[in-house]
Structure 1
């Protein structure tokens, strides 16, 4: 399926509205019960949110790809994209997200037990997130953008999810 959005918008009587511009391709293949793959990709997807006529969110995904699969009780996924917009607690900026090793979730767990991704800001500061198990996560932080991780933080998926 191929989609192209050009000012696709919604609005409410209270003056709130949103719009989407961009393109998206979705390929889905299911070969059996609990055995399927999906790839969602595109060049650009931009969304804007207005509250009472004032622009409150302006976000953009560029060169984005999401790949996922399910095989029985194991779900595997990865994402690669550039995000520009406002991130809570970080402010406005551009971030490049790359999956180094695909993430895996084994049902009934809700969180990945394996997988690695990096998030890099425009100033080259970065964090590498490594799933240790379905409960624990390791964050390696490069605070000055020199390519060397300055700090390691061991935390939990619950803590990570509470901050988003």
Structure 2
């Protein structure tokens, strides 16, 4: 997760009933935008150093991203090494029909080889409402999307393990 000054940060609590927090990145600790970064929280105005976890979403400010790229280029002109940047995108489509929810997650990594010469990976997740359960479409969506994303993550981690094992000639275990 790479940030630029001005990007929006949303942290969702793992505790039921606890509100999500929103803030803006106000300072980077690394030129390439890698964590940690300093966030000013909208609810309190306080600033804190953030090491984003799986409960954090980063929404990029396109204007800030362009300014950061220009700053990296300028620093390269001063003799510093430019930092490579690639954007991977995930799209999730959700389909509902008769108590069944189907989610398809698509990861697109333009120009990257995700294995077998592919630059995209797909995964699916499903949820089914039992007849006696209440009709809660959002819960079905969350289950199906969560399952699709978990499968996508497992595939990526498995591919990373395989790549490490091939490169080193030894068994590799990646911790999630």
**TM-score in terms of structure 2 length:** 0.30
* Structure of greater Rg: 2
Q: TM-score, normalised by structure 1?
A: 0.31
Of structures 1 and 2, the one with the larger relative CO (CA 8 A, separation 6+) is 2
Q: Considering fraction of residues, name the structure with more strand.
A: 1
